[in-house]
Amino acid sequence: MTGILAGLRIVEGSAFIAAPLGGMTLAQLGADVIRFDDIQGGLDSDRWPVTKDGRSIYWAGLNKGKRSIAVDLRHPKGREILTALIAAPGEGAGIFSTNMPARGWLSYESLAKHRPDLIALNIVGARDGSAHVDYTVNATTGFPMVTGPAGHQGPVNAVAPPWDLATAYAGAMAILAAERHRRMTGQGQRIVLPLQDMALSVTSALGYIGEAVVNDIDRPRYGNEIFGTFGRDFRTRDGRYVMICIFSDRHVDALAAAGGFGEAFRQIEVETGQDLKTDAGRWRARDRLCAVIEPWVARLSAEEVGKALRQAGALWSPYRTFRELAADRESVLDNPMFTIVDQPGIGRYPVAATPLQFGAVPREAPRPAPVLGQHTDEILSAILGLPGHEIARLHDEKVVGGPR
């Protein structure tokens, strides 16, 4: 391992998105991330999307570059092994990340008996420990009531899970913050990160709670428009969609150049009294802007629209489906972040490394996800120092599992 986090070891007890993605992020930066699962597989081992044979493409995506140990989680000896693994000595070791219920033998108190400077990140649903997933948390934030087509009744859920993503990366960051603290003070600690609080803190940071209280309004549903500036989807002659935005002066001029809108924009400014070089002006005059841009886009093919916008340096993007994305040169096939990986049991497809480029170390190519228990033996041997005959007995007694 040569990544920026080489020397760090994290033991992970996880399922679904937030905790595994946080661990995978650290693994792709060079940390030795060991995910443990029950000998039967975790809650998410068969999670969709799956291949025709039922192999989880989802699991493969979220556990890349980790090592896997499979243990009977109900067996006292299985628990003993994992406790020893979590509390194993070493400067960069003794870090535990989980979204499993951290009770009993997995509680911080129990584990810290074996390693007083243990760092444990516990991702929980709500702060009272009750269960939550991205979907339920999202419902409470208010976002589903302002997402989706204007005029639509009822909520619109997010598909890209914003709160899982925030929790994954904030959790990974928290582990590094605690590791820094431990290096400076020798002190370990438990970190609690409630998924719901994560979502609420972002909702607060983005101004939604402040707006509701200070202005005493519920923001309406603005469809695909970007609130408070200019941006929307437009449909091309050939039935494709493009997103066109304005976030700065430069984007106003570029858009005007792309479509020859200079005179039309000036007229909008004169007639509405709005300054299109300000956020507020663009937002207030957005219907007028759309009335100019919409027919231009509708007259052209997606290729023609793209060419004009690109040449002018406008802020825009075509919309794509996932299949179109997977076949796109610029985004995927020619992107050095992607490598074609052969994922055992699933197949060959483009897989992303970390998006972070650290100047001090080269970016590691993505490694496949392990199969369940792939590293059981090497972990028992190299980290816990168990001799071969003991490892064999643990397999015979079905305390541990994995391909032999």
Task: Tell which positions 107-126 bind a second copy, by CB under 8 A.
Answer: 108
Taking the CA atoms of 307, 310, 313 and 317 in sequence, report the sign of the dihedral they define: positive
Query: Under DSSP, is residue 64 helix (H, G, I), strand (E, B) or coil?
Result: coil
Of positions 236, 343, 374, 376, contacts a second copy by CB under 8 A? 343
103 binds a second copy (CB under 8 A): no
Residue placing its CB nearer to a second copy in the complex, 264 or 337: 337
Interface with a second copy, residue 357, by CB under 8 A? yes
DSSP state of 370: P
Closer Cβ to a second copy, 138 or 374, answer by number: 138
Cβ atoms < 10 Å from Cβ of 57: 17
Residue 378 has φ and ψ, to the nearest 5°, of -70, -30
d(CA 290, CA 294): 5
Q: Which residues contact 177 (CB under 8 A, 6 or more apart)?
A: none
Q: Which residues are catalytic?
A: 164
- Measured between alpha carbons, how far is 90 from 111 in angstroms, rounded to an integer? 16
Which one of residues 35, 66, 67, 132 is an interface residue with a second copy (CB under 8 A)?
Answer: 132
Note whether 356 binds a second copy by CB under 8 A.
yes
Count of residues interacting with a second copy (CB under 8 A): 155
Among 10, 18, 24, 252, binds a second copy (CB under 8 A): 24
Among 358, 362, 382, 387, binds a second copy (CB under 8 A): 358
Contact status: 303 vs a second copy (CB under 8 A):
no
Lay out the site mask for a second copy across 162-181 (x = CB under 8 A, - = otherwise).
x--xx-xxx-xxx-xxxxxx
Query: What are φ and ψ of residue 251, in 5° steps?
Result: -70, -30
In the complex, least distance from residue 393 CB atom to a second copy, rounded to whole angstroms:
31
Distance, in Å, from the CA atom of 80 to the CA atom of 376, rounded to the nearest integer, reads 14
Q: Site residues for a second copy, window 183-242 (CB under 8 A)?
A: 183-185, 187, 189-194, 196-198, 200-219, 224, 226-229, 231, 233, 235, 241-242
Applying CB under 8 A, among 68, 97, 99, 141 the residue interacting with a second copy is: 141
Q: Are 148 and 216 in contact (CB under 8 A)?
A: no
- 353 and 25 in contact (C-beta within 8 Å)? no
Among 243, 257, 290, 365, contact with a second copy (rule: CB under 8 A) = 243
Question: In this chain, which of 10, 27, 33, 62 binds a second copy, going by CB under 8 A?
Answer: 62
Q: Is 49 one of the binding residues for a second copy (CB under 8 A)? A: yes
If one asks whether residue 349 binds a second copy (CB under 8 A), the answer comes out as yes
> Binding to a second copy (CB under 8 A): which residues in 362-401?
none
Closest approach of a second copy to the CB of residue 31, in Å: 9
Q: Are 187 and 262 in contact (CB under 8 A)?
A: no
Cα–Cα distances in angstroms (integers) from residue 120 to residues 69, 114, 171, in the given order: 19, 13, 11
What element of type H or E holds 349?
strand 347-352
